[in-house]
Amino acid sequence: MRKFMIGVIFALVLPGCNGGGHHEERKQLTPEESEAVKSEIKALMAVVIEGLETNDPDKLFRDFWRSDSASFYLNGMAMQGYDEIIGGFSQGMESRQNTKMTLSSEEIVVLDRDAAMHLAEFTNSMVLTNDSTMTVKGYWSAVFKKINEQWKVVHVHESFNPAP
């Protein structure tokens, strides 16, 4: 499944990475370049986690692509476009007092010098405004694309594990 997903991402993201759709010979990344991309993506994901845990939608979505083409699939529900994504999450964050996000099986896949993917399993424990607690576990993938020399999240998928 992971190989299939990476193949789909290559087909969707990479054609637009060279700017004009013209074919050009791309030099393979060195191990050092690949590690540098991974470090950059890891740092961006730390800000995403901080935004979740502090209920700060501006921080959470700081590096999201502000475009109608940005997409977020949350447990089968599609949100299309930056405004719809941030609106949906801002509303949901109002029902939480605090959140603790734990990642496991985290992996960063460098697709190209201008495209990467962050994959992880997560556990999200929340205290809601009514003082009840809720914990969800699941999987996510976030696709990053370098746009105007800055990494942007262009697509996210998040699925929850079925309740026991």
Question: At which residue do the structure tokens 């699939």 appear?
Answer: 73
pLDDT band at 9 (very low <50, low <70, confident <90, very high): very low
Domain span holding position 13: 2-17+29-160
Q: 77-80 and 133-147: which strand pairing?
A: unpaired
Q: Name, in order, each residue with C-beta under 8 angstroms of 85's C-beta and a sequence gap of 6 or more.
A: 61, 64, 70, 71, 72, 79
Is position 79 within any domain? yes
Amino acid at site 55: N
Total number of domains constituting the chain = 1
Q: Is 139 exposed, middle or buried (0-12, 13-18, 19+ CB in 10 A)?
A: middle
Is position 24 within any domain? no
Q: pLDDT by residue (tens digit) across 113-122?
A: 999 999 999 9
Is position 137 within any domain? yes
- Write down the mean pLDDT value for the chain: 85
Is position 23 within any domain? no
Is position 105 within any domain? yes
Residue 65 has pLDDT above 50, yes or no: yes
Is position 22 within any domain? no
